[in-house]
Amino acid sequence: MDKPVRILLVLAHSETKTGLFNKFVYTSYYPSITLEQLSSITPDQYEVEYVDERYESVDLFWKGTLVGISTLTPNAPHAYLIADAFRKRGKKVVLGGYHPSALPEEAKLHADAVVIGEAEISWPQLLRDFENGELKPFYRAPLVDPEQIPSPRRVPGQYPSIGVVQASRGCPYGCRFCAIQNVEGSRFRARPVRQVIEEIRTIESERFMFADSSLTINSDFTKALFQEMIGLNKKFSCYGNINVLQNDDELLDLARRAGCETWLVGFESINQDAIRHIGKSTNKVQEYASGIKKIRDQGMSIIGLFIFGFDTDTPNIFKATLNAVNTWKLDRAGFAILTPFPGTIVFDDLDIENRIFTRDWAKYNLRNIVYYPKNMSVKQLFSGRNYIAKKFYSLPNCLRRSVQEKNLTFDRFLRRTAGDFLLNRYFQKI
């Protein structure tokens, strides 16, 4: 009998770090099931291994035949390096993910084939072509039907034990800075509730996270899902839009009863002009405070996500935002620098205006500045973002937030304090 073809799947990351802080950040804010879903759609006759480089480095001397590498923009230079290294050693390499989907011709310089967009249809086709010696340079397939969004195939114990579930794909909103539509498209597609529930039942850990870009795009679907989750005894966090959460008491009530602990919400800015400019006009700044209060009154936490560097931002935006987030009693917050990812409208706008000063993709990481801001200097934007992050995660602020939380059980206090401590240590060093 022929030996099975060995496939290595890699989630590229330029900085493999096993420290607690990184585990905490990846599992709390950036869940990924890319590798597990790819493994799941790979036909059984192949022998699949996978490496998430956020947690372990890839072995460039791996003995197998085909390497599939998925990468986001800041990790693309590293992904290209390992792709080149594998090809030098005679392996066939396939690149996919957000960055190769936005810039397939660039990715092709480092790969034998590039998968553009979702892989569920392309990947099995690519494997058939590979076996027949007919690998094509590019694979682009239509968006998959929601029933085909796969359950991940996990290797128990391989990576941190938080579960990740994807109940839907696609977002119709098209915010100018967001790259989600490059891969998932603009059509919202929800998996059958029964499938999602079955998957949640298989998660070993008590806690998990939804990897959906937003669980408030179709409230009817989310309510049906949450209704079925009541009684599963799980706790979870998920992304949602504040305008929906603010106005739908039934959704919030069902979320709490289903086990929701935390909503991650893209507020983006406290300036309505900026919100208008980026095309997220469903966000109403004057309703943020009452929306946050509603969520907290239901006993759920809220992590607010903000971006700095919009054309409407001036150097005053940092102090004004700090005052606002402290007054609103946000439980946590993320502060990013506007990053024009390839394939987004922001990228095209800034490029046309000749304001992008580097295409070193490694710097496209939400912490560095790669374009000339309009109403402040590069230095002001960089130090302003670091200022707010340091202040928000100063020890007095962390303590104040801990004691303000309702229904603070001991377990929750411990987890919260540990998380804040890690964030404090990290941000005091920047």
Q: What residues make contact with ligand SF4 under the rule CB under 6 A?
A: 171, 173-175, 178, 180, 213-214, 266, 280
Question: Angle at CA 343, nearest 5°, toward 337 and 348?
Answer: 75
Q: Provide, rounded to whole angstroms, the least separation between the CB of residue 186 and ligand SF4.
A: 8
Distance CA 430, CA 383 (A): 10
Do residues 69 and 312 touch, judged by C-beta distance below 8 A? Answer: no
Nearer to ligand SF4, 167 or 178 (CB): 178
Q: Provide, rounded to whole angstroms, the least separation between the CB of residue 299 and ligand SF4.
A: 25
Query: 404 in helix, strand or coil?
Result: helix
Q: In sequence order, what are the residues at sequence separation of 6 or more whose Cβ sits closer than 8 angstroms to the Cβ of residue 323?
A: none
Other CB atoms within 10 Å distance of the CB of residue 3: 7
Amino acid 259 reads G
Q: Provide, rounded to whole angstroms, the least separation between the CB of residue 180 and ligand SF4.
A: 5
Distance CA 124, CA 138 (A): 14
Q: Provide, rounded to whole angstroms, the least separation between the CB of residue 162 and ligand SF4.
A: 21
Distance CA 368, CA 71 (A): 18
Distance CA 261, CA 359 (A): 39
Query: 9 in helix, strand or coil?
Result: strand
Buried residues in 176-187 as b, exposed as e (16+ CB within 10 A): bbbbbbbbbbee
Nearer to ligand SF4, 14 or 216 (CB): 216
Nearer to ligand SF4, 173 or 236 (CB): 173
Q: Provide, rounded to whole angstroms, the least separation between the CB of residue 176 and ligand SF4.
A: 9
Distance CA 12, CA 34 (A): 11
E-assigned strands of 241-320?
260-268, 301-308
Q: Provide, rounded to whole angstroms, the least separation between the CB of residue 282 and ligand SF4.
A: 8
Nearer to ligand SF4, 42 or 168 (CB): 168
Nearer to ligand SF4, 171 or 317 (CB): 171
Q: Provide, rounded to whole angstroms, the least separation between the CB of residue 85 and ligand SF4.
A: 34
Distance CA 407, CA 259 (A): 14
Residues in the chain: 430
Tracing tokens 């050693």 back to the chain, one arrives at 89
Q: Provide, rounded to whole angstroms, the least separation between the CB of residue 171 and ligand SF4.
A: 3
Nearer to ligand SF4, 242 or 398 (CB): 242
Nearer to ligand SF4, 22 or 344 (CB): 344
Q: Provide, rounded to whole angstroms, the least separation between the CB of residue 355 and ligand SF4.
A: 21
204 to 118, 162, 200, 234, 238: CA distances (angstroms): 27, 9, 9, 10, 18
Nearer to ligand SF4, 123 or 267 (CB): 267
Nearer to ligand SF4, 95 or 143 (CB): 143
E-assigned strands of 250-308?
260-268, 301-308
